[in-house]
Structure 1
Amino acid sequence: MIMAQVSTSTSTTEQSSFNPRVHVGLLEERVTNVSSTDFPGHYPDEDYSWNLKEFKKKLQVKIQKLSTRSIEFDLVGIDASIANALRRILIAEVPTIAIEYVYVWNNTSVMVDEVFSHRLGLIPLNVDPALLEVKESSSDQATDRNTIVFKLHVECTRNTVAPRNSTDPAVLYNNSEVLAGNLEWVSQGEQSEVFAARPPAPTIPETVLVKLRPGQGIEMEMHAVKGVGKDHAKFSPVATASYRLLPHIILDEANPVPPHLATRFRDCFSPGVIKVDLRTKKVSVDKRGVRGETMSREVLRHPDLAEYVKLARVRDHFIFNIESEGPYEPQRLPLEAIRVMREKLSALKSATEMLRAQGNSDGDVQMTDT
């Protein structure tokens, strides 16, 4: 992945007219120019063959926002199929660790075993998947290389020194709530050394799992394993992974917005998108603020305003938003998705080479490079 701190190409986002090769059009009731045009033979006498140098020139990656839980970055110069593949891999194929097996020794809470076990499986854990192997099936032997063990033992009792007039369960009782932080990691084999820097635990200890009252208690043992989101949503490493095309607002320079309509025109867009000069009442587009435009198309509902603007989205400029819920730092997630994609491409290449070799040896299949 090429991480370059570069600005968006002016040839892409600062055009004064609509270009169907670059833009997706937004009309009042429909969207135009949706289909991609970057494949060989679509435009006569033009060469669309793959060129790595040209691809590198167009490819741009820039981090716009970064926090401990989320990242927003721009990915420019790729086809929608690649962007969507990254999104799907982030959701379904980047591995994480989650609770898979629950052994219930005692559960006298109001929540039945099956429902409570399901809730336990959805608890995000901070375990780095790179430190564990995949446990292929339930019949495989659980070892310190493929399984993380937790135990949960909580009993609710009355607080004998609680104030007489108190009505707060947290004051009246001890352990009135079972929290994710109550899960206790039980080290197996060499795990105490492997996870010494970061002991396995829930990423959000304050998560409430169930409420207890005096006389109720829970005692369980849980085994967490490595998996991917396409097997079960609990293994998905992200809360959200989405992208949208960069909004593009094209003002008609030959037919500018009249001063008496400037304020109404500005109010049809998200705050900060349209600027109005206080002295001349001239309307312009804020290139930074346009990222926040929701493309509600409110301006197209007003015939007296719609004639001064065209709305579009830049076809190859994707704004990604990713929220991490597991062990991965947000900036690591795109790299993990690319790693998985490279593995898939490598497998496809190997299969193609085997098919080519088999065809050449049998003389039945003729495959040529294109």
Structure 2
Amino acid sequence: MKVEILERDKDSITFLLKGVPLSLANALRRAVISEVPVFAIEDVYFYENNTSIWDEYIAHRLGLVPLKAEWGTYNRDSEVKFYLDKQGPGVVYSGDLQPETPGVEVVDPEIPIVVLREDQALRLEAVAKVGDAREHAKWQAGIASFRPVVRVEIKDEQLFRELLPDIDPEDVRRQNERPQGVDTAVYNLVDEVLEDHPEVGEIKKKKDVFLFYVESYGNLPVDVLVRAAVSELLQRLEMFMTKVEGNKA
């Protein structure tokens, strides 16, 4: 298996995954989406809430606030308390949540929670626990998608131009030369035309090379998120092999 990084920034990464079957590529996608453990608020204890929003609604909003912590500093039994105490008038933001101990904090401090009038107040204690998105989406650390690397072979350029006037055949040929192949939008349009006009050309897919896109929600840096997903996947494979070997005995 080989990985070739094409683009990377603070929250997203695009890379080629080479030499793997479709099933393994999809397993990695699922691991990124649902198996990486992160913090999220699970329990909320209200001491004062005379706002226009019920306790349950506020608790739900707090649960969806992304929290970040350094990978490796926590485990699935870790918990962190947050406190919030604010008087109106004003807006309660996610940044008003104050952790009891350092190391866990909100990703974006400007997420609005509730508006307070002059005579209103919100005072609560929230407990953040570690979980993964198999239990609830609030523990989802990011999103991932992939597709095979695609190249378009044009057989009838004149007909291609007639049926796809917005796509330049020369641009398609240039995209064919890139490691990631043609853009997804080009692939979708050409694929739709070829269903009725196969004489126009042919779509060629590499069976063991996939274009991956991963975006972090901020709970973890995107490169850490990918490594954590691989680690979780390997742990599950090791558990599976251990059980298989145990049954042999």
- Using the size of structure 1 for normalisation, the TM-score is 0.61
Q: Distance in 2 between matches of 1:328 and 1:207?
A: 18
Structure 1 gaps of 5+ residues are 1-58, 136-145, 158-174, 277-282, 358-370
User: Which AA in structure 1 matches 2:207?
Assistant: R
CA contact under 8 A between 1:244 and 1:320: conserved in structure 2?
Answer: yes
Say which structure is richer in strand: 2
Match of 1:323 in 2: 215
Matched, 1:286 2:175: yes
Indicate the SS of the match to 1:355.
helix
TM-score scaled by structure 2?
Answer: 0.88
Q: Is the 8 A contact 2:41 2:127 kept in 1?
A: yes
Query: 2:109: which partner in 1?
Result: 205
Q: Return the index of the structure with the highest Cα Rg.
A: 1
**Within 1, Cα distance between the matches of 2:160 and 2:71?**
55
Query: Is the 1:97–1:129 contact (alpha carbons within 8 Å) kept by the matching residues of 2?
Result: no
- Structure 1 residues 326-335 or 65-74, which shifts more? 326-335
Structural mapping, 1:218-237, within 5 Å: 218-237=122-141
Q: Secondary structure of the equivalent of 1:307?
A: helix
The one of 27, 37, 43 equivalent to 1:101 is 43
- Tell me the residue number matched to 1:274: 169
**What is the one-letter code of the residue matched to 2:202?**
K
Say which structure, 1 or 2, has more relative contact order (CA 8 Å, 6+ apart). 2
Give matches, 1:21-60, under 5 Å. 59-60=1-2
Q: 1:300 aligns with which of 191, 194, 201?
A: 194
The alignment-based identity, stated in percent, is 30
Q: CA deviation at 1:284?
A: 3.8
Partner-residue secondary structure (3-state), 1:123? coil
Letter in 2 for 1:150: F
Q: How does 1:1-370 map to 2 (within 5 A)?
A: 59-135=1-77, 146-157=78-89, 175=90, 177-187=91-101, 192=102, 195=103, 200-238=104-142, 240-252=143-155, 256-258=156-158, 263-264=161-162, 267-269=165-167, 274-275=169-170, 284-287=173-176, 288=178, 290-292=182-184, 293-296=186-189, 297-300=191-194, 303=197, 306-357=198-249
CA 71–351 in structure 1, closer or farther in 2 if over 3 Å, else same: same
Relative to structure 1, is the Cα distance of residues 87 and 113 closer, same or farther in structure 2, using a 3 angstrom cutoff? Answer: same
Q: Indicate if the aligned counterparts of 2:35 and 2:133 stay in contact, CA closer than 8 A.
A: yes
**Mapped contact 1:109–1:216 kept (Cα < 8 A):** yes
Deviation of 1:85 after TM superposition, in Å, equals 0.8
Q: Label 1:311 to 1:89 Cα distance change in 2 as closer, same or farther (>3 A).
A: same
AA of the residue aligned to 2:141 = P
- 1:98–1:224 CA contact under 8 A, matched in 2: yes
Q: How far does the alpha carbon of each residue in 1:129-187 deviate from its partner, in whole angstroms, 9 at most, with x for none?
A: 5212323xxxxxxxxxx221111111113xxxxxxxxxxxxxxxxx2x11111111222
In the TM superposition, what is the alpha-carbon distance from 1:98 to its structure 2 partner? 0.8
How many correspondences in the alignment?
Answer: 244
Q: Distance in 2 between matches of 1:267 and 1:301?
A: 17
Q: Distance in 1 between matches of 2:166 and 2:151?
A: 15
Question: In proportion to residue count, which structure has more helix?
Answer: 2
